[in-house]
Structure 1
Amino acid sequence: MCGNNMSAPLPAIVPAARKATAAVIFLHGLGDTGHGWAEAFAGIRTPHVKYICPHAPLMPVTLNMKMTMPSWFDIIGLSPDAEEDESGIKQAAENIKSLIDQEVKNGIPAHRIIVGGFSQGGALSLYTALTSQQKLAGVVALSCWLPLRGSFPQGATGSANKDTQILQCHGEADMLVPLVFGCLTVEKLKSFLNPANVHFKTYPGMQHGSCPQEMMDIKQFIEKQLPPIS
């Protein structure tokens, strides 16, 4: 999928309880798989929505002493001015756009698809949506940042998602991706998107993970952006 690594296994999927008329494509964080998030979505599922949680391919990660692990792209450092894996990020975004295209071919229009992710996956979901020519229903960006932020707003010129709803969530006690990253990301997004469409929620005491209140906020956002088709 990305670069010269083995291709990743098939995504973890929570099928719709009835005919799927909408989909959520959700990307896990560094070193993880899609299974945990598939379980989390099974707990807040909406009957007409299909949840697709792909697994990142295995690759050596510079940040973790070149250890091989599931990763959407290489992470070189975590400081705001760290060098970024530009070609890896762009290639990963193309792979996610192919997943979106596949769902469209399966009969779910792009405007009935939400992309989202946690941490590195959240970063990739933001970058993918902001550079996509498919008009999406929304983005759920958890505990993350905007990759290649210096390339925006120019990078979003051809994007169909200038008016797409974005739910960004962050734990106030996150030590790994500090809250300030989330705040800077929201400011950046509001500088070139419709500020009214960028929703930022923070959770006291939440570290680099999730919590029940966040999951309920995600559920409400999904139900609002992907209502049943009567």
Structure 2
Amino acid sequence: MSLLSCVEVETHSNPVASVIWLHGLGADGHDFEPIVPVLNLPANLPVRFVFPHSPKIPVTINGGMVMPAWYDILDMSIERKVDATQLVANAKSIHQLIDREIERGVPADKIIIAGFSQGGAVALEAALSYPKALAGLMAMSTYFATKDSVEVSAANASLDTLVMHGSQDPVVPPSLGEQLVNALKQKGFTPAFKSYPMPHAVCQEQIADISAWLQQRLA
């Protein structure tokens, strides 16, 4: 399997940590690229941000239109019927990107997996099932599509997890964010949860919180 195409941004030369950050439905790897300079990470913590591009596939809820997507969404009910086979396959593609970061000299425990919306669902599967201990998992405006099937690795059974959600999100309702937190707790995790008065988006207060969390996890 060939590696996913990615956008890469290094905050300073010789990165000692990496963040692999997955975009949402219909976006691409450039979507969160502008957030890197706004995080204001310190010069003594050089980080490589890896923003993979998802494949382009037909998406049922959008009339079968071909677009960037990590997996097909079959209906938009609160249960979120998705193509779990595609989701898991792309989680394995993220494992390949983690492996590459390790080959490039970044230890697994200095690698964070992040994802927004659809990308968050893949990030959850990828991080929790990865066989080496990671630095953390950031799930933004998302839901736990594979909560009943994910095989959590022993290495990441207590992974630091940050869940962030907008209280006015019309796309992924806040209740799905709450279900995600509860599902993680049932699996023995102690996720941090932050809610923001925003729709399906990212806000300035959240960016400041992300910066602080990344520095804490990667220092």
Question: Per the shorter chain, which TM-score range?
Answer: over 0.9
- Please name the residue that 1:101 is paired with: 99
Q: Is the 8 A contact 2:71 2:82 kept in 1?
A: no
Determine helix, strand or coil for the equivalent of 1:97: helix
Match 2:72 to one of 71, 74, 89: 74
- What RMSD in Å do the two structures reach over aligned CA positions? 1.6
Query: For the residues of structure 2 that align with 1:207 and 1:201, how far apart are their CA atoms?
Result: 14
> Unaligned 5+ residue runs, structure 1?
none
What count of residue pairs does the alignment treat as equivalent? 216
- Please name the residue that 2:147 is paired with: 149
Q: Residue deviations 1:84-128, cap 9 Å, x none? A: 212101101100000000110011011100000100001110111
Match 1:87 to one of 85, 100, 117: 85
Query: For the residues of structure 1 that align with 2:123 and 2:170, how far apart are their CA atoms?
Result: 21
1:127-142 → structure 2 map (5 Å cutoff) = 127-142=125-140
- Residue 192 of structure 2 corresponds to residue 199 of structure 1: yes
Using the aligned pairs only, state the percent identity.
Answer: 36
Determine helix, strand or coil for the equivalent of 2:48: strand
Determine helix, strand or coil for the equivalent of 2:180: helix
Equivalent residue letter for 2:215: E
- Please name the residue that 1:11 is paired with: 6
Query: For the residues of structure 2 that align with 1:212 and 1:226, how far apart are their CA atoms?
Result: 21
Q: Is the 8 A contact 1:14 1:42 kept in 2?
A: no
Equivalent residue letter for 2:207: M
CA change 1:82–1:140 in 2 (3 A) is closer
- Output the TM-score relative to the length of structure 2: 0.93
| Alpha-carbon distance, 1:14 to partner | 1.1
Q: Is the 8 A contact 1:143 1:182 kept in 2?
A: yes
Q: Is the 8 A contact 2:11 2:37 kept in 1?
A: no
Query: For the residues of structure 1 that align with 2:58 and 2:154, how far apart are their CA atoms?
Result: 31
Query: For the residues of structure 1 that align with 2:70 and 2:82, how far apart are their CA atoms?
Result: 13
| Alpha-carbon distance, 1:51 to partner | 0.7
Q: Is the 8 A contact 2:80 2:145 kept in 1?
A: no
Match 2:183 to one of 182, 185, 188: 188
- Residue 28 of structure 2 corresponds to residue 21 of structure 1: no
| Alpha-carbon distance, 1:45 to partner | 4.4
Equivalent residue letter for 2:113: V
- Please name the residue that 2:201 is paired with: 209
> Unaligned 5+ residue runs, structure 2?
none
CA change 1:75–1:172 in 2 (3 A) is same
Q: Is the 8 A contact 1:26 1:53 kept in 2?
A: yes
Query: For the residues of structure 1 that align with 2:133 and 2:74, how far apart are their CA atoms?
Result: 31
Q: Residue deviations 1:29-51, cap 9 Å, x none? A: 00001112011123214231111
| Alpha-carbon distance, 1:159 to partner | 4.2
Determine helix, strand or coil for the equivalent of 2:72: coil
Match 1:164 to one of 131, 148, 159: 159
Match 2:26 to one of 17, 24, 31: 31
Query: For the residues of structure 2 that align with 1:80 and 1:151, how far apart are their CA atoms?
Result: 18
Determine helix, strand or coil for the equivalent of 2:86: helix
- Please name the residue that 2:215 is paired with: 223
